[in-house]
Structures are given as C-alpha cells and as structure tokens.
Amino acid sequence: MIDEKEDWYEKLHRWKDALKIYEGKEIMDPGNFEILKGKLNCFRNTFDWENLSLLVERMWDDYQTT
C-alpha cells in the first residue's frame, strides 16, 4: 500500500522526493504495480526518458513471462 507521503510530494510537484520514496519501497516489494506506476509518473514528470523507457521495458518483459 502506498503512503500518502508520496502522494503529497506528487501534488507538490516534488517528483525527485517522491521517486526516492518509491525506490525505497520497491526494494521491499519489487512487483508492486502501484509503486512502479508511481515511478513511471515521476520519470515522466522529470523528463527522464531513459529511465522511463528502461522501466517500461522491464515491466513489459515481466508481463510477457507471466
């Protein structure tokens, strides 16, 4: 479950702060779609196209193997 802390950072457009929290949570729960979706949103809003692309590819590969 996602805490409201990331949500507040996103509402305040503090994308890098939200991303740090998502990355920490991903270590504990790597397959959690809500965490991955949050990371995608942060990458998109910081124009980090390279990491966005890598995460989408990883998610696609995971989807294809299930």
- Residue pLDDT, tens place only, 3-34: 568 989 999 999 999 999 999 999 999 889 99
pLDDT at 1: 52
The Cα–Cα gap between 39 and 22 comes to: 6
Q: Which pLDDT belongs to residue 38?
A: 96
φ/ψ of 2, rounded to 5, equals -90, 130
- Report CA 65 to chain centroid distance, whole Å: 21
Question: Residue 47 region, left (φ>0) first, then alpha (ψ -120 to 50), else beta?
Answer: left
Q: Give SS3 for 38.
A: helix
Task: Note the pLDDT tens digit of each residue in 40-63.
Answer: 999 999 999 999 999 999 999 988
Q: What is the pTM of this model?
A: 0.86
Q: Which whole-number Å values give the CA distances from 40 to 17, 46, in the listed order?
A: 14, 10
